[in-house]
Structure 1
């Protein structure tokens, strides 16, 4: 464990950031699962709402650099294609 005041503060900050990042990644996963469930149920309205929600969450995660912006764009694209098939 670090002894310098600045290193202790940096450690505290990294723990907070880690928790925020984990929370956001979990939100992305849960929203994606909800979209897949809506696609499986063939409910167009639910799919549209879920896709809008996933897109928003992924864009927010990309803007905060929790996921890479190209990864977010790829996931949004693939989810859109999957939702448009029904």
Structure 2
């Protein structure tokens, strides 16, 4: 248990930041899932639109330190590659 006034304050701040960061991570996962769901269904226009809305959110979370910059890059790269692969499959069928 914290003894000093400052240590008690830091505990309060840490809890507040933890809750906020958890909320932001949840929002990030939701954006990523929307893109993945559109890719799974094969909805090309919705997948591209979802990726365009998810990209700035991913970048913002990396800049704020909620996720690592490499993780942000990995998410964007994999989602983009999945969309490209889906486009190629649609193009091959047509």
Alpha carbon RMSD of aligned pairs, Å?
Answer: 1.0
Q: Which residue of 2 aligns with 1:76?
A: 76
Q: Which runs of 5+ in 1 are unaligned?
A: none
Q: Which residue of 1 aligns with 2:51?
A: 51
For residues 49 and 13 of structure 1, the distance between their equivalents in structure 2, rounded to whole angstroms, comes to: 37
TM-score normalised by structure 2 residue count: 0.85
Q: When the two structures are aligned, how many residues end up with a matched partner?
A: 86
TM-score normalised by structure 1 residue count: 0.92
Q: Which residue of 2 aligns with 1:12?
A: 12
- The 5-angstrom pairing of residues 14-33 of structure 1 reads 14-33=14-33
Cα deviation for residue 43 of structure 1 reads 1.6
2:30 pairs with 1:34: no
For residues 50 and 11 of structure 2, the distance between their equivalents in structure 1, rounded to whole angstroms, comes to: 37
Moved over 3 A (4+): none
For residues 73 and 56 of structure 1, the distance between their equivalents in structure 2, rounded to whole angstroms, comes to: 12
Cα deviation for residue 3 of structure 1 reads 2.3
Cα deviation for residue 35 of structure 1 reads 0.8
Cα deviation for residue 20 of structure 1 reads 1.2
Larger radius of gyration: 2
For residues 16 and 41 of structure 1, the distance between their equivalents in structure 2, rounded to whole angstroms, comes to: 38
